[in-house]
Structure 1
Amino acid sequence: MPVPAPNLYPDFNVIRLSHVCLNVTDLEVSRKFYTETLGMQITDEDATHIYLRALEERGHHCVILQKSDQPGTVEVLGFKTFDEPDLDRAEAYFAAKGRPTQWVERPFQGRTLLTCDPMGIPLEFYHHMDRLPPIHQQYALYRGVKPLRIDHFNCFSPDVDASVAFYSDFGFRVTEYTEDAQSGRLWAAWMHRKGGVHDMAFTSGIGPRLHHVAFWVPTPLNIIDLLDLMATTGYVANIERGPGRHGISNAFFLYILDPDGHRIEIYCSDYQTVDPDLEPIKWDLTDPQRQTLWGAAAPESWFKNGSPFVGVETRAPQITASPIIAP
């Protein structure tokens, strides 16, 4: 089944992914991990929430840690629109698609539209977020892996074809995809708005669940430094996969787990995709260099474990094809 043609003139304009709200068990434990190991900066905190940003970001937050009795789950994925009128156009668009819409109050954000995609992934859209002074040249603040910005989400979907069709319709463009040759259906796809390889990706699996959230770092050496740090500060068991280089995206990567099991990718060295006529790259599911150009194959946990969305039922994938899994 071919990927949909991109909609270059969508009903409303999403410019990029923005933030994620992760539910955690212990804010102090998570605080230590996200600030000392990852190196993110706290922008606000109280008894139930910690707001964090990466070092290049001017928006108030890209991660919200929320103390919850459902740790290991995800509240919402956030996206920024080009302007305020885009929010009203988005409300009309999602309502016309039969999706629920609701205006919600969010700290440090302006008007925020809450909805969900057909799989049930909770999505929120806003235009205004409080802006903070730049800190990207305050090198004394750089800690851990030195994350510069949030880069992308990857979600398990039980029907990747349907997910790709839905996001394509409001302007996301496919850069690379994996097709199951036997069924002709999509097993995974990478889609963007901001001109990188992806803001949002979908992988076939029990879903919807968040597979991972990724952060961009300056160089592969930052990832090596993080591995040394985690190996000597009690987090060696939290290293799940990598380092290595993906075939898809060509990026240097590492996957780690936070204290509640949320998967985080540390990511750099992908490529620019701004041309509107860029043709997506097709990969066969059995190509051993698809997921790992070089490095160890992904472990079974990488294909099975993910963070559920609060209140959203999961279901089995529609295709049973499987990629190469490490023994």
Structure 2
Amino acid sequence: MALEAFNLYPDFNVLRLSHVELGVTDLARSKAFYADTLGLQVTDEDGEHIYLRAMEERGHHCVILTKSAQPEVYALSFKVFSEADLDKGAAYFRDLDYPVEWVVRPYQGRTFRTRDNSGIPLEFYFKMDRLAPIHQKYALYHGVKPLRIDHFNCFSTDVDASVSFYNKLGFRTTEYTEDEASGRLWAAWMHRKGGVHDIAFTCGRGPRLHHTAFWVPTPLNIIDLLDLMATTGYVANIERGPGRHGISNAFFLYILDPDGHRIEIYCSDYQTVDPDNEPIRWDLKDPQRQTLWGAPAPRSWFEHGSVFAGSAVGEPALTASPIIAP
């Protein structure tokens, strides 16, 4: 199935991914992981929520931790280019007969909530409270020294349908994995901000969130985090890596938070600003697409994901045998 041509003039302008809201069962335990260990900065907290940002970010938060009876994901959030784009976006989803609800979110301006074609809850906004820059306050840097949120990766039961949906929103595919026999997409990486991806989709039971990724300065920061986790009670939370992906060329590490939400620590991918960049195709049978070098992924990496609140999970349309660590 051929990729659709890029939509360079979508009905409204999504600027980039912004933040994720994760339901967690113990706020203190999650704070110890995200703030004390990873090094995200707490910008506000109360008995129900913790707001965090990374070192380069001027917006109030890139992660919201919300106290919940069970681990789940409440929303993936995106920033649009202007207030006008916010109204155009709401009209776009209404025209598709998707639910659109204007919601009140602390530290944000007008925000609407909807969903994508698979049921992933999405929120869009334009204005967020701005905070003073801290990227040169090096005394604050600790943990893995996270600079910014980089992307979401989601399990999709039908990657072709997910790519088509986000393509219409102006997301451009940078790399993809195709099943030779069927011509169907197994996975795809799509961006708005000029990196390899703001959001990616992998075939699997879905919709579920596979991981949220944070950009760090160098691979050495990842090594430092591994030493820290290994000596502070988190060695069992190290799931996969370090290694380098073929797709995206990224140096990576995958870890699990105390509730099992997967986090990728990530650096060294490449710029994709030119609108005429051709997507890079990978064959599903090529083992280096997943791991250019490093140990194969464990079975959990293919099977475990975080559910989206209120979204039913279905079975994938395409099956394949992943390369699993012995």
TM-score norm. by structure 2 comes to 0.99
Q: Which amino acid aligns with 1:231?
A: A
Please report how far the alpha carbon of residue 2 of structure 1 lies from its aligned counterpart in structure 2 after TM superposition: 1.4
1-structure distance, mates of 2:209, 2:151: 11
Q: Which amino acid aligns with 1:88?
A: D
Please report how far the alpha carbon of residue 99 of structure 1 lies from its aligned counterpart in structure 2 after TM superposition: 1.1
**Residues 95-122 of structure 1: CA distance to partner in whole angstroms, max 9, x if unpaired?**
1122111100000000001000010000
Task: Name stretches of at least 5 consecutive residues in structure 2 with no aligned partner.
Answer: none
The residue aligned with 1:152 is: 151
Matches within 5 A, 1:24-103: 24-70=24-70, 72-103=71-102
Whether the 8 Å CA contact 1:158–1:317 is kept in 2: the answer is: yes
The residue aligned with 1:304 is: 303
1-structure distance, mates of 2:39, 2:114: 31
1-structure distance, mates of 2:313, 2:30: 26
2-structure distance, mates of 1:322, 1:112: 41
Please report how far the alpha carbon of residue 326 of structure 1 lies from its aligned counterpart in structure 2 after TM superposition: 1.6
SS in 2 for 1:301: helix
2-structure distance, mates of 1:20, 1:261: 15
The residue aligned with 1:8 is: 8
**Residues 169-227 of structure 1: CA distance to partner in whole angstroms, max 9, x if unpaired?**
01000000000111110000000000000000000000000000000000000000000
Alpha-carbon RMSD: 0.6
Q: Which amino acid aligns with 1:126?
A: Y
SS in 2 for 1:90: helix
Q: How many positions carry a matched residue from both structures?
A: 326
Please report how far the alpha carbon of residue 324 of structure 1 lies from its aligned counterpart in structure 2 after TM superposition: 1.6
Whether the 8 Å CA contact 1:35–1:143 is kept in 2: the answer is: no
Please report how far the alpha carbon of residue 48 of structure 1 lies from its aligned counterpart in structure 2 after TM superposition: 0.3
SS in 2 for 1:223: helix
SS in 1 for 2:200: strand
Q: Which amino acid aligns with 2:59?
A: G
The residue aligned with 2:212 is: 213
The residue aligned with 2:174 is: 175
Please report how far the alpha carbon of residue 323 of structure 1 lies from its aligned counterpart in structure 2 after TM superposition: 2.7
1-structure distance, mates of 2:205, 2:3: 21
2-structure distance, mates of 1:127, 1:274: 22
Matches within 5 A, 1:100-119: 100-119=99-118
2-structure distance, mates of 1:89, 1:34: 35
SS in 2 for 1:95: helix
Identity of aligned residues (%): 76
Q: Which amino acid aligns with 1:284?
A: D
Whether the 8 Å CA contact 1:191–1:198 is kept in 2: the answer is: yes
The residue aligned with 1:314 is: 313
Q: Which amino acid aligns with 1:276?
A: P
Q: Which amino acid aligns with 1:175?
A: T
Matches within 5 A, 1:111-260: 111-260=110-259
